[in-house]
Chain A
Amino acid sequence: GEDVEQSLFLSVREGDSSVINCTYTDSSSTYLYWYKQEPGAGLQLLTYIFSNMDMKQDQRLTVLLNKKDKHLSLRIADTQTGDSAIYFCAESIGGNKLVFGAGTILRVKS
């Protein structure tokens, strides 16, 4: 089946690191994505990782993929108040559609 699970809420202090976790079920997923949604806005692609990679770093963002456990994480270094948003994990199914998690609300306290 196709299912993506995320923790619902994360609260961190400004300057700390944030780690948002995700698990997925479809082992044939070729790409896994992280999207950011600010209030009232659309879905902004943050980063993605190909399934044969273990890690991808892009400035303050680090994605870790454990394919054996079907676990994906997004680490945001030096979290800022502007990072407060909902973060969605998504897996690509058959290269034809995305299956999203329910989203993790990240709250950054100053």
Chain B
Amino acid sequence: EPEVTQTPSHQVTQMGQEVILRCVPISNHLYFYWYRQILGQKVEFLVSFYNNEISEKSEIFDDQFSVERPDGSNFTLKIRSTKLEDSAMYFCASSDVGGSYGYTFGSGTRLTVV
């Protein structure tokens, strides 16, 4: 069964450092997403991406965040200057047209900012 792959599974970084979280979505999906889950809290939407541009973003997705699809397979989330409160599990997801058959999530990257 097709999978969404995320790397690394766990990343520890110092406050103020830049991090890049990587994702390989399902190959025939057109919509890509990032979500995050702070420990013990809800899964929160960050951003959706379609046709090489952001289609929607949440209030959380401020200027410190950016996304990119640098080639035909990878989808990345960059946090420019990490803060302690960025510590969370970050999930990448992809879907077919409009998510009508469900969104497939990766296993997540646990980001710990120290």
Q: Which residue of A lies closest to B41 (CB)?
A: A102
Secondary structure call for the B interface = strand
Does A1 belong to the interface (CB within 8 Å)? Answer: no
**Chain B interface size, under 10 / 10 to 19 / 20 to 34 / 35 or more:** 20 to 34
Determine whether the beta carbon of A45 is less than 8 Å from that of B104.
Answer: yes
B contact residues around A43 at 8 Å (CB): 43, 91, 93, 105
Does A82 belong to the interface (CB within 8 Å)? Answer: no
Does B75 belong to the interface (CB within 8 Å)? Answer: no
A95 to B93, CA, bound (A): 14
B contact residues around A41 at 8 Å (CB): 107-108
Q: Which residues of A contact B (CB under 8 A)?
A: 30-31, 33, 35, 41-45, 48, 88, 90, 92, 94-103
Q: Which residues of B contact A (CB under 8 A)?
A: 31, 33, 35, 41-45, 48, 55-56, 91, 93, 98-108
Give 8 nearest A-B pairs by CB, closest first: A95-B98, A42-B107, A43-B105, A100-B43, A45-B102, A97-B45, A42-B105, A96-B56
